[in-house]
Amino acid sequence: MIKYLTLLISSILFFGCRPTNLIQNNQNYKSESLEIKQIAEHVYLHTSWLEAGSFGKVLCNGMIVLDKNETIVFDTPANDNTSLELINWIENTLKGKVKAIISTHFHEDCLGGLEAFYKQGISSYAHNLTLQLARQNKSAVPQNGFDNLLELKVGNKKVFAQFFGEGHTEDNVIGYFPDGKIIFGGCLIKEVGAAKGNLADANTQEWPLTVAKLKAEYPEAKIVIPGHGKMGGTELFDYTVTLFEQK
């Protein structure tokens, strides 16, 4: 009896004293077209796939920041159907209203699903160059533009989108969630071991200089998410700089 009582008390102490900020894995999601997983308190990674011609089927990352039943999403999935799937999951599982979508550059893997967000009455933001380039490419065009820095509130938290210079494209920006020291680098940042990838709109001379500025601004970053592939830490900055340094 004493043995079982001791076990019961130990169990109560263990489960009752668990920290409240543990990641709830039961909120993760996976379908044929979309994966979502929590990577930190308030922050989720969304991953979908893009048919990218000679590059084949490419895995594409985006970020969701949640606080007080509000969310802000960085980059849409590449099409409207998957974007609607993402919105529905946020509303039904996180019980969060999507306050805004921020596209980090003008390519399809960042704004290809904007129409799904518009149909839900969700505001969109991007660099002013992104608006211009999207119009030229006859793509969906974000509604609101900025030049160097955008700050938006999500619940009681803040997120930022910031332009540091040219790289993968002339308009590429990054997302930053200061509470978690998390950077969504988008296609400006490469996963460790990645090839140079799509350079059709790139400025390879400026690319390493732009990433060096980003690292100098946020040396304290704990999590860095690339546009494609595995996330990591600031070693992704170093790898990207080395990949594009002029030899």
- Token pair for 208: 């390493």
What is the set of domains in the chain, with CATH numbers? 27-244 (3.60.15.10)
What distance in Å separates the CA atoms of residue 125 and residue 128, rounded to the nearest whole number? 9
Cβ burial 120-130 (10 Å sphere, 16+ → b, else e): eebbbbbbebb
The pLDDT of residue 23 is: 44
pLDDT digits (tens, 9 = 90+) for 152-180: 999 999 999 999 999 999 999 999 999 99
Pairing of strands 57-67, 43-51: antiparallel
Asked if residue 4 has pLDDT above 50, the reply is: no
Asked if residue 243 has pLDDT above 90, the reply is: yes
Q: What is the band of 50 on the pLDDT scale with cuts at 50, 70, 90?
A: confident
The pLDDT of residue 145 is: 98
Asked if residue 54 has pLDDT above 80, the reply is: no
Q: CA geometry: angle at 134 spanning 102 and 171, to 5°?
A: 60
The pLDDT of residue 55 is: 62
- Token pair for 164: 């540091």
Asked if residue 14 has pLDDT above 50, the reply is: no
Q: What is the band of 16 on the pLDDT scale with cuts at 50, 70, 90?
A: very low
User: Which of these ranges, 20-29, 64-73, 127-136, 203-212, has the smallest mean pLDDT?
Assistant: 20-29
Can you tell me which residue has the tokens 């974000």?
142
pTM of the model: 0.89
What distance in Å separates the CA atoms of residue 221 and residue 231, rounded to the nearest whole number? 12
Q: What is the band of 52 on the pLDDT scale with cuts at 50, 70, 90?
A: low
At what angle are helices 207-217 and 235-244 packed, to 10 degrees?
160
Give which of 109, 111, 117 is closest to 91, Cα–Cα: 117
- Active-site residue list: 105, 107, 109, 168, 187, 190, 198, 228
Task: Calculate the average pLDDT of the chain.
Answer: 90
